[in-house]
């Protein structure tokens, strides 16, 4: 399928205004998929927060057949419970990798029609699966020409139902319709502002529609206009406050705050919309009810846990790969190395205009 004929992107509504926040931090809420207690979160690579209130986890399982190494697990946040595997059904998935199966899934998006769009970095395709489990098609062609893919990673669904993809090994971002028609592409390899080196995660600012990209090998985050103009570039290599070591997933919440999965530093960082470092998450997991029940049903595990002298390691992140938010202030962090999701709640107050001092009294009125 050749994807080199540009299409005109649908018009996108104009963005709103940035709020001024009184920040109160984040509160740890709960853990889902406690340390693989359910036997389902293994090889997790991404999570999707559905508008239906469910959380969908993309599992990249090496134990699965080569043509179907993807499982999508549905979790209920309210009940802290595993629901079911929803896609794909291996008996319905084509056996040939080039025909839209999933040999190396990376990240996904769920559209309003209940179709998952999943990038595959080996087949260089975007594979589609219905929420019921049936394959819904695929598109993509290997190469470096406009509309072709080489190692697609992050994928973001825009409000106009188009898709933005971090075309990792081509060091660029590409824009497509949902059925794979090419719209535009921009980016090149390098370490200067506006250039990229193996970009991984990508997210859309819900306020102004700009693109935020996790520039993986450059250990930084970049913000671009929809035409590819670099608007901001922040972060540097290291493990100190605000520094990054191979950032993977990135998301932007309703306040334009930016959450970054700082994968190799085993943490998640929060930056404000201007790229100013705000907060670090290192993990606060505790045993949920399902984990407790598993221990209670296994005397050997219960005895071993009783001899643990330091529970800090159990709480902390290990290679978090993805972070997502919802409209209710919840933050979901895929703690991939420990086969679970840690959930936090953002605590803040949006200030009215009469609650903020006049801009002329501030050294930097836009800092928030």
Query: Could you tell me how many helices (H) and strands (E) the chain has, helices first?
Result: 3, 24
Distances (CA, A) of 55 to 86, 129, 138, 343: 11, 16, 23, 11
SS3 313: helix
Query: Cα-flanking dihedrals φ and ψ of residue 290, to 5°?
Result: -70, -40
The pLDDT of residue 238 is above 70: yes
Question: How many structural domains is the chain composed of?
Answer: 1
CA distance 77 to 55: 7
Q: Is 15 inside any structural domain? A: no
* Ramachandran class of 239: left when φ > 0, alpha when ψ lies in -120 to 50, beta otherwise: alpha
CATH number at residue 208: 2.120.10.30
SS3 355: helix
The pLDDT of residue 32 is above 70: yes
Strand 152-157 to 135-139 pairing? unpaired
CA distance 291 to 30: 12
Share of the chain above pLDDT 90, in %: 60
The pLDDT tens digits of the residues spanning 90-117 come to 555 554 444 556 678 999 999 999 999 9
Q: Is 3 inside any structural domain? A: no
The pLDDT tens digits of the residues spanning 165-195 come to 999 999 999 999 999 999 999 999 999 999 9
> If we measure between CA atoms, which residue out of 127, 117, 228 comes closest to residue 162?
117
pLDDT at 4: 39
Q: Is 368 inside any structural domain? A: no
The pLDDT tens digits of the residues spanning 313-365 come to 889 999 999 999 998 899 999 999 988 899 999 999 999 988 887 767 776 65
The pLDDT of residue 11 is above 70: no
Q: Is 265 inside any structural domain? A: yes
Distance of CA 325 to the CA centre of its chain: 9
- Domain extent for 57: 29-355
* Ramachandran class of 151: left when φ > 0, alpha when ψ lies in -120 to 50, beta otherwise: left
Q: Is 7 inside any structural domain? A: no
pLDDT at 306: 78
Distance of CA 300 to the CA centre of its chain: 36
The pLDDT tens digits of the residues spanning 65-80 come to 665 568 888 887 765 5
pTM of the model: 0.89
Query: What is the pLDDT averaged over residues 118-147?
Result: 92
Q: Are 213 and 196 in contact (CB under 8 A)?
A: yes
The pLDDT of residue 289 is above 80: no
Q: Is 142 inside any structural domain? A: yes
């Amino acid at each position: 399928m050749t994807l080199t004929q540009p299409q005109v992107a649908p018009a996108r509504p104009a963005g709103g205004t940035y709020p001024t926040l009184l920040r109160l931090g984040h509160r740890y809420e709960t853990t889902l998929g406690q340390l693989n207690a359910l036997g389902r979160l293994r090889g997790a690579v991404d999570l999707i927060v559905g508008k239906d209130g469910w959380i969908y986890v993309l599992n990249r399982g090496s134990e699965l057949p080569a043509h179907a190494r993807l499982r999508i697990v549905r979790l209920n946040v309210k009940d802290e419970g595993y629901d079911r595997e929803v896609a794909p059904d291996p008996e319905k998935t084509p056996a040939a990798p080039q025909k839209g199966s999933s040999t190396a899934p990376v990240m996904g998006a769920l559209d309003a029609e209940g179709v998952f769009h999943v990038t595959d970095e080996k087949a260089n395709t975007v594979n589609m699966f219905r929420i019921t489990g049936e394959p819904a098609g695929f598109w993509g062609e290997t190469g470096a020409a406009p509309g072709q893919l080489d190692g697609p990673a992050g994928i973001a669904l825009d409000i106009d139902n188009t898709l933005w993809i971090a075309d990792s090994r081509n060091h660029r971002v590409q824009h497509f319709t949902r059925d794979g028609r090419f719209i535009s592409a921009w980016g090149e390899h390098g370490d200067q502002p506006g250039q990229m080196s193996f970009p991984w995660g990508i997210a859309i600012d819900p306020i102004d529609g700009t693109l935020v990209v996790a520039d993986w090998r450059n250990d930084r985050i970049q913000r671009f206009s929809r035409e590819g103009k670099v608007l901001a570039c922040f972060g540097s290599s290291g493990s100190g406050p605000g520094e990054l070591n191979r950032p993977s997933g990135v998301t932007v919440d309703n306040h334009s705050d930016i959450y970054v999965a700082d994968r190799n530093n085993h943490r998640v960082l929060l930056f404000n919309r201007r790229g100013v470092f705000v907060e670090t998450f290192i993990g606060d997991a505790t045993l949920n009810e399902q984990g407790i029940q598993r221990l209670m049903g296994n005397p050997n595990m219960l005895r071993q846990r009783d001899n643990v002298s330091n529970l800090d390691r159990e709480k902390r992140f290990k290679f978090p790969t993805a972070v997502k938010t919802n409209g209710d202030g919840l933050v979901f962090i895929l703690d991939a190395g420990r086969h679970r999701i840690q959930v936090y709640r953002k605590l803040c107050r949006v200030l009215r205009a009469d609650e903020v001092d006049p801009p002329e009294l501030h050294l930097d009125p836009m800092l928030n």
